[in-house]
Amino acid sequence: MTETRLPEIVLFDTLSGTKRTLEPLVPGRCGVYCCGPTVYGLTHLGNARAALVPDVMVRFLRHQGYDVRYVRNVTDIDDKIIARAAEEQLAPAELARKYADEYHRDMDDLGMLRPDVEPAVSGHLEPIIALIGSLVAKQLAYAADGDVYYRVRAFGPYGQLSKRSLDEMLEGAGSRIEVDPRKESPLDFALWKAAKPGEPAWDSPWGPGRPGWHIECSAMSSAHLGETFDIHTGGRDLIFPHHENEIAQSQGAHGPGTFARYWVHNGFINFDGEKMSKSLGNFFTTREITALYDPETVRCFLLTVHYRSGLNFELEAACPRCDRVLARAEQESGACAGCGAVTEPELLRAQVRFPGLEEADDRLAYVYTTLQRAGAFLDQGAPAAEPGPVLEHTAGMLVAFIAHMRNDFNTSGALGALSKPLAEINGLLDSGKGVDKGARRRTVERFVADFAEVARILGCFGADPGTWLARRRDLKAARVGLDTAKVEELVAARQAARLSRDFATADRLRAELAGLGVAVQDGPSGSVWTFA
Ligand SMILES: [Zn+2]
Ligand SMILES: [Zn+2]
């Protein structure tokens, strides 16, 4: 058997603080573990970004020939789940199932691949208890009143990932946390929590209880990827303490040099400058946003920024009376400093617009329009008879795109590499002037073929263009409050005027439609309208 050498891919590793070449444990294979959701509520864009980063990474590694095993866990036992279950009057397990289903619905909508394995805590009590037992046996953990804590001071390299010293952590902990007398040190964290009355509980050598949050990822990653595996991903907010604790647990139990070999962390989403998280409450759920925009627009928007950078999710709300765009403080109070009108928060929420999503939506419409035109062009003639040169930008598109992706999964650069080819193709479709007929045909053919590969890697641009554009038109009409029934009526009236050769009326109706921001295209199968 000959070993084929796979292309070199570099990625930024948080632990070393440098870009490193990916050298998997087993050549040609790659194990990826992603910290998944705690299922107690609907998802927001922060969850979507944390799932999208490994999604695109896995798609790209597979495209490059790697045999990837992708594991993402579900935290279905947790304090927040228990609290929310009480509010919704459901059993905790039932609530977790409900929101795991909702999570899948949102992620499927956004075009995320399902992981190869999706382990849940409730199905992994045995390996979790075994791992805690081995930490206790090694004096790295101790039992106290039915709880089990990790003895942080006993693990030398603690702080290596977050680059913090124990003293710094103690200082931080001292001001925040009441010192629990059962703990040897305020830094020690729970591996096992004794059950309180009425809470779900499992038997263990330390009495009935449930696992702490951190231990599950150590146990489930080694159950499905082995004690040592390649890439661990998660949001930056998980570096400390969650991932620091995962390392302490796994390396504590399995020895130095084990566990994740590359640590990949994505940046936050800033909601008008503030970090977006469930605790802030000032966020829109994924579902509220995909009711306004096609999920693919949301996906594209998230990919426009490098995964390690912060992503600003701006929103704009205009005063319903004077139409002035309100500043952040005005949005909060609902009081317009311009005209003095005060708007209820719920009404204002309905006025909100998302400039970043609008931009992504327009760009995606441009891509699909180009693909639609290219498809129509190719349908007209016979395939290119012979191989030969294609125009410069299209010829270099896929190579440039992949080069960006190989450099730390730079989707922002990769999307940028599509701009000139898109312009080149539109130019060719507008006019073939000065271009050899064969070269024109070959260039469009190559563009369509290579773009399909780009689509597979990004999980974007793969829909049927006509279907996508029609749905987008309807969503946009709903967003801007366009009366589509009236538009259809005007289009039909104009069509009738044209048929009876009443061009003055047809022109007047076209102008009326233009006033609504609508353009009409006349084709052999009738007239269709689009946004101008
Ligand atoms: Zn985790
Ligand atoms: Zn106003």
Question: How far, in Å, is the centroid of ligand 2 from the Cα of 345?
Answer: 14
Pull the structure tokens for residue 235. Answer: 């949001």
Do 501 and 394 fall into the same domain?
no
Please say which residue of 215, 244, 268 terminates a domain: 268
Domain-located, residue 340:
no
Do 259 and 363 fall into the same domain?
no
Pull the structure tokens for residue 75. Answer: 């935290």
Residues with CB under 5 A from ligand 2 (ion): 319, 321-322, 336, 338-339, 341
Question: How far, in Å, is the centroid of ligand 2 from the Cα of 318?
Answer: 8
Give residue 278's pLDDT: 45
Do 422 and 526 fall into the same domain?
no
Do 254 and 403 fall into the same domain?
no
Find the length of the chain. 532
Residue 379 structural domain: 357-465
Question: How far, in Å, is the centroid of ligand 2 from the Cα of 278?
Answer: 31
Question: How far, in Å, is the centroid of ligand 1 from the Cα of 311?
Answer: 22
Do 133 and 221 fall into the same domain?
yes
Domain-located, residue 315:
no
Do 372 and 446 fall into the same domain?
yes
Question: How far, in Å, is the centroid of ligand 2 from the Cα of 275?
Answer: 28
* Nearest ligand (C-alpha, residue 72): 1
The Cα 126–Cα 113 span in angstroms is 28
Q: Which contiguous run of DSSP H or E holds residue 523?
A: strand 518-523
* Nearest ligand (C-alpha, residue 245): 1
* Nearest ligand (C-alpha, residue 218): 1
Question: How far, in Å, is the centroid of ligand 2 from the Cα of 483?
Answer: 25
Give residue 1's pLDDT: 46
Question: How far, in Å, is the centroid of ligand 1 from the Cα of 336?
Answer: 44
* Nearest ligand (C-alpha, residue 34): 1
Q: How many domains, the chain?
A: 3
Give residue 21's pLDDT: 98
Give residue 3's pLDDT: 58
Domain-located, residue 135:
yes
User: Which alpha helices (DSSP H) does 65-186 contain, by range?
Assistant: 79-88, 92-109, 125-137, 166-176
Question: How far, in Å, is the centroid of ligand 1 from the Cα of 398?
Answer: 35
Do 365 and 219 fall into the same domain?
no
Distance of CA 336 to the CA centre of its chain: 34
Question: How far, in Å, is the centroid of ligand 2 from the Cα of 516?
Answer: 24
Question: How far, in Å, is the centroid of ligand 1 from the Cα of 51?
Answer: 13
Question: How far, in Å, is the centroid of ligand 1 from the Cα of 33?
Answer: 9
Give residue 274's pLDDT: 63
Question: How far, in Å, is the centroid of ligand 1 from the Cα of 260?
Answer: 12
Question: How far, in Å, is the centroid of ligand 1 from the Cα of 305?
Answer: 24
Do 501 and 441 fall into the same domain?
no
Domain-located, residue 91:
yes
> 467 Cβ partners below 8 Å, 6+ apart?
none
Question: How far, in Å, is the centroid of ligand 2 from the Cα of 335?
Answer: 8
Do 196 and 77 fall into the same domain?
yes
Question: How far, in Å, is the centroid of ligand 1 from the Cα of 215?
Answer: 8
Question: How far, in Å, is the centroid of ligand 2 from the Cα of 353?
Answer: 16
One-letter identity of residue 319: C
Question: How far, in Å, is the centroid of ligand 2 from the Cα of 486?
Answer: 29
Give residue 276's pLDDT: 53
Question: How far, in Å, is the centroid of ligand 1 from the Cα of 35?
Answer: 4
Domain-located, residue 345:
no
Question: How far, in Å, is the centroid of ligand 1 from the Cα of 292?
Answer: 32
> 345 Cβ partners below 8 Å, 6+ apart?
334
Question: How far, in Å, is the centroid of ligand 1 from the Cα of 72?
Answer: 9
Domain-located, residue 453:
yes
* Nearest ligand (C-alpha, residue 340): 2
* Nearest ligand (C-alpha, residue 335): 2
Domain-located, residue 19:
no
| Cβ-contact 476, 354 below 8 angstroms | no
Question: How far, in Å, is the centroid of ligand 2 from the Cα of 327?
Answer: 11
* Nearest ligand (C-alpha, residue 319): 2
* Nearest ligand (C-alpha, residue 330): 2
* Nearest ligand (C-alpha, residue 241): 1
* Nearest ligand (C-alpha, residue 33): 1
* Nearest ligand (C-alpha, residue 121): 1
* Nearest ligand (C-alpha, residue 320): 2
* Nearest ligand (C-alpha, residue 337): 2
Question: How far, in Å, is the centroid of ligand 2 from the Cα of 312?
Answer: 26
Do 371 and 435 fall into the same domain?
yes
CA proximity to 22, closest of 77, 76, 65: 65
Distance of CA 88 to the CA centre of its chain: 28
Question: How far, in Å, is the centroid of ligand 2 from the Cα of 341?
Answer: 5
Q: What is the CATH number of the domain that holds 241?
A: 3.40.50.620
Name all contacts of 175-183 with Cβ < 8 Å and 24+ positions apart.
Answer: 182/144, 182/145, 182/147, 182/149, 183/144, 183/149
* Nearest ligand (C-alpha, residue 343): 2
Question: In tens digits, what is the pLDDT along the chain, a chain of 532 residues?
Answer: 445 689 999 999 999 999 999 999 999 999 999 999 999 999 999 999 999 999 999 999 999 999 999 999 999 999 999 999 999 999 999 999 999 999 999 999 999 999 999 999 999 999 999 999 999 999 999 999 999 999 999 999 999 999 999 988 888 766 555 678 899 999 999 999 999 998 999 999 999 999 999 999 999 999 999 999 999 999 999 999 999 999 999 999 999 999 999 999 999 888 766 665 543 445 689 999 999 999 999 999 999 999 999 998 888 888 889 989 888 788 878 899 999 999 887 788 777 888 999 999 999 999 999 999 999 999 998 887 788 999 999 999 999 999 999 999 999 999 999 999 999 999 999 998 888 999 999 999 999 999 999 999 999 999 999 999 999 999 999 988 899 999 999 999 999 999 999 999 999 999 999 999 999 988 877 888 998 8
Question: How far, in Å, is the centroid of ligand 2 from the Cα of 451?
Answer: 46
| Cβ-contact 289, 255 below 8 angstroms | no
Do 390 and 510 fall into the same domain?
no
Do 223 and 362 fall into the same domain?
no
Please say which residue of 268, 302, 317 terminates a domain: 268
Domain-located, residue 223:
yes
Question: How far, in Å, is the centroid of ligand 2 from the Cα of 317?
Answer: 11
Question: How far, in Å, is the centroid of ligand 2 from the Cα of 339?
Answer: 4
Q: State the distance between the two ends of the chain, measured CA to CA, in whole angstroms.
A: 58
Q: Are strands 228-235 and 29-34 parallel, antiparallel or unpaired?
A: parallel
- Report helix, strand or coil for 440: helix
Please say which residue of 465, 493, 522 terminates a domain: 465
